[in-house]
Amino acid sequence: PHLRVGAAIQLGFIKMTGSTLNASERIPLGVMFKLSETLRTQKIHIATTRTLYPRRSTLYEHQAWAAQCLGWHTFTSARRGTLVREITKRLVECPLAIDGIVELLKTWLYQRSILIPAARSLRALAVRLYRITEQEAQRVALEEIPPHIVDDWIKDILRRQEDIPTQLEWLLTPV
């Protein structure tokens, strides 16, 4: 009976969130009771997936089975490449902070039925995309702004006036 409930939890979690439960994730007792009732099994008083799945391999097998049943795909390097290209185009047109990029990534993946990776991996990808976007914006700006104006800006930033620090020194001064 535990395995039927575990499989049902995996199906529901992927369908609702686009990601899989990790091995230590807590499962609300109300969800456990409702699933037990729906599947006509005895009530299960289990709080985490670790206690529901004594064998970690069964957890992974259920996750793979649930993803396959729902038509969800793993986040491969080819899919990552597509995501980076498409999201970079969007961010160049409409920049976002890192947290906004994380949410954009989740939405993009969910809409394409691609399993959303762990939070740390997703955040690292968002930081990478943020940096790519900054570099692209800098490249575009430098193409559009005449070189003599860029030179004047650099001189202004580095110019020292008597006892006043340069703008760059002021920016680097700890608060």
- DSSP 8-state code for residue 62: H
Percent of the chain residues past pLDDT 70, beyond the cut: 95
- pLDDT of 31 reads 83
For residues 93-119, average pLDDT: 96
What is d(CA 175, CA 112) in angstroms, rounded to the nearest whole number? 45
Q: In whole angstroms, what is the distance from residue 15 CA to residue 7 CA? A: 12
Say if residue 107's pLDDT is above 60.
yes
Grade residue 86 by pLDDT with cuts at 50, 70 and 90.
Answer: very high
Q: Is the pLDDT of residue 11 over 90?
A: yes
Each residue of 153-171: pLDDT tens digit? 888 877 766 677 777 777 8
- pLDDT for 125 equals 97
Taking CA atoms, 20 is separated from 61, 140, 143, in Å, by 12, 39, 44
| Whole-number pLDDT of residue 1 | 57
Provide the whole-model pTM.
0.76
pLDDT tens-digit profile of 69-80?
999 999 999 999
Out of 5-14, 31-40, 58-67, give the one with best mean pLDDT.
58-67
Q: Average pLDDT over the chain, rounded to whole? A: 88
Average pLDDT over residues 61-67: 95
- Cα–Cα distance measured from residue 165 to residue 157, given in angstroms and rounded to the nearest whole number: 10
Output 48 or 110, whichever has higher pLDDT. Answer: 110
| Token pair of 132 as six digits | 């790519």
Q: For residues 110 and 119, give the distance between their C-alpha atoms in angstroms, rounded to a whole number.
A: 14
Phi, psi of 99 (to 5 degrees): -60, -35
pLDDT at 108: 98
Q: Which two tokens stand for residue 151?
A: 């030179």
